[in-house]
Structure 1
Amino acid sequence: MKRRIAREKAVQILFQIDMAEVKMHDALHMVMEDSSDDNKYLMYLVEGTLEHLQQIDEEIKQYLRGWQLDRIANVDRAILRLAYFELMFEEVPDRVVVNEAIELAKLFSDDQSFRFVNGVLSQYLQTKQPTEE
């Protein structure tokens, strides 16, 4: 499974877990639909995001100018959580994470969400020390 597809499916799983309190295994089964694709990276993304969820949410809250985490669109919250996991705990280049998050917002959310997601991620990255990509 390509990383982009894994990210798309990870957002869908995180969304289901957040919205309907579905168990991770059940959400995975619904999203994969009997696919035989290798889902190691997908599981890594979902499990890592869930494992660090409290820390990720606390970090996101710092950059939600005028918003509360529980008031933003559920799909945007899932996209941000996944992106923050990759930014905080992965060696993925920052611009790749931001671009992927924007594309996920364009795919799954409304016409303005990609700007919101970009703004929240950009605010976070401005406070980080520059990293080599």
Structure 2
Amino acid sequence: MSRRDTREAVFKLIYETELCGEINELSVEQIKSGIEESDYGYFEGVFYGIQEHHKALSDIIAQYAGSFAYERLYKVDLSILLLATYEILYTDIPFKVSVNEAVELAKTYSTEKSAAYINGILASIIKNRNREA
């Protein structure tokens, strides 16, 4: 499984967690069994990191959600934004990679409008992060 596939698996797990309101450890183990051992660190670090920083990530996303209120975001879009925002703020993954992967996930699992919307939110988060650095 490539890093892209692992990222997609993390996205699906985030989505499931957002829908159910809790982590399904059986799903975690099933997904983990299908990824390369070299990606375990990414998988667990990002998935559990998002859970640990969920409130902060949600607040940041809400700050940039604009006229489309955070509460009204599609769970698919929210899951993509949580994943990409975590990567941008808490990992050394290049911003361009995180944004591109998020847009590709949106094109696959959501809509073209969502892809553009997600791209805009992530661009604002990066711009603000760079300004604070």
**1:1-133 equivalence runs, <5 A:** 1-29=1-29, 32=31, 35=34, 37-38=36-37, 40=40, 41-129=42-130
Structure 2 residues not aligned, in runs of 5+: none
- 1:30-82, CA deviations, whole angstroms, 9 ceiling, x for partnerless residues? 5x296364351212211111111111111111111102222111010000000
Distance 1:119 1:128 in 2: 14
Structure 1 residues not aligned, in runs of 5+: none
Cα distance change of structure 1 residues 120 and 58 upon mapping to structure 2, 3 Å threshold? same
Letter in 2 for 1:118: N
Distance 1:35 1:84 in 2: 25
Contact in 2 for aligned 1:17/1:27 (Cα 8 Å): no
- 1:9-30, CA deviations, whole angstroms, 9 ceiling, x for partnerless residues? 1110000011023424133245
Cα distance change of structure 1 residues 97 and 33 upon mapping to structure 2, 3 Å threshold? closer
- How many residues in Structure 1 have an aligned counterpart in Structure 2? 130
Contact in 1 for aligned 2:11/2:83 (Cα 8 Å): yes
Distance 1:122 1:23 in 2: 29
Give the secondary-structure state (helix, strand or coil) at the position aligned to 1:128: helix
Sequence identity percentage: 27
Of Structure 1 and Structure 2, the greater helix share is in 2
Letter in 2 for 1:35: G
CA-based RMSD? 2.1
Runs of 4+ in 1 over 6 A off after TM superposition: none
Letter in 1 for 2:77: D
Give the secondary-structure state (helix, strand or coil) at the position aligned to 2:97: helix
